[in-house]
Amino acid sequence: MYKIIFFLSVPFLALLYEGVLRKINARFQNRIGPPVLQPFYDVLKLFSKKKMKSQNDPFFKYSPILYFISLYALFLFIPFSIVSFEHDFIFVLYLTILASAFYVLAGLSSDNPFGIIGSAREMILMIIYEITLVITVFSFVMKAGVISFGDFNSRLLILTLPISSLGLFVTSMIEVHVTPFDTTEAPTEIMGGSRTEYSGTNLAFMNMSMSLKRLFFALLLPMLFFGKDIITLLPLSILFLFLYTLSQATTSRYRVDQVFKVYSIIMFLVLVEFILVMWGVRWV
């Protein structure tokens, strides 16, 4: 029962996390910051806006909603398995990649140069970060020796898979667009990338999706690193949120080619560890 309640409260929790993130960020920057409930007000305001039809492209219209749905569906598996079947982690990975694909489609179909550049950057980075995401999650799942997230009950895998943990954390930073890896949005360069042309309800969906993605990774990472205990999961997710904010507050943005360069080293290390895991080598 609590699983269902959690699943229904996910959008609210995501927006709350967003508010906390903004508040922490503001405190880092010596500001008071917006109220914690500000993201709720933002979303409510955007939903009350009149619908603008700037494009007739169906992809432009429906990509944000599909982006939102594909990310929301992830919470059926993470952190509590409401649905569980064999090899469902492949399905989870598929859903995250699908979400990124809808994000790219949203930008490409918006027919705006900045949106197209944002999508192009996302595609360039997708080549590298989605592969790493797949490799790291496979490493974790193989190490735990399970075939679905429902059976996942290993603890402290961060000690046995240190490089994959680091790789997964950096990947999540790219996924949730935190500096130094927020090149795909880069407000001062390309005005927010794929979101440039959106307004009203669709923009609300785009923004909420990003909050959902942030919550998803803030829950997935502690679950894989430390275990699936409900008591530790939420505090640890707040810790990861804090780490994202710390990174956001203390770094500047890489250019897209620099991200690629930095990230390819991590991908190589992660791949090496994956091969070692396949051979059954242990660090600890």
The least CB distance from residue 96 to another protein, in Å, is: 24
Positive or negative torsion for Cα 131, 238, 193, 183: negative
Closest CA to 168 of 92, 269, 259: 269
Site string for another protein, 184-213 (x = CB under 8 A): --xxxxxx----------------------
Nearer to another protein, 214 or 228 (CB): 214
Q: Which span (82-90, 97-105, 160-168, 246-254) binds another protein, by CB under 8 A?
A: 246-254
Nearer to another protein, 64 or 180 (CB): 180
Taking CB under 8 A as the rule, does residue 162 contact another protein?
Answer: no
The per-residue b/e assignment along 45-67, b for 16 or more CB within 10 angstroms, e otherwise, is: ebeeeeeeeeeeeeebebbbbbb
Q: What is the DSSP string of 134-172?
A: HHHHHHHHHHHT-SSGGG-----HHHH-HHHHHHHHHHH
The C-alpha angle 52, 119, 58, rounded to 5 degrees, equals 40
The Cα 203–Cα 195 span in angstroms is 7
Taking CB under 8 A as the rule, does residue 252 contact another protein?
Answer: yes
Nearer to another protein, 68 or 129 (CB): 129
Restricting to residues 103-132, name those near another protein by CB under 8 A.
113-114, 117, 120
Nearer to another protein, 179 or 237 (CB): 179
| Residues near another protein (CB under 8 A) | 25, 28-31, 113-114, 117, 120, 179-180, 182-183, 186-191, 248-258
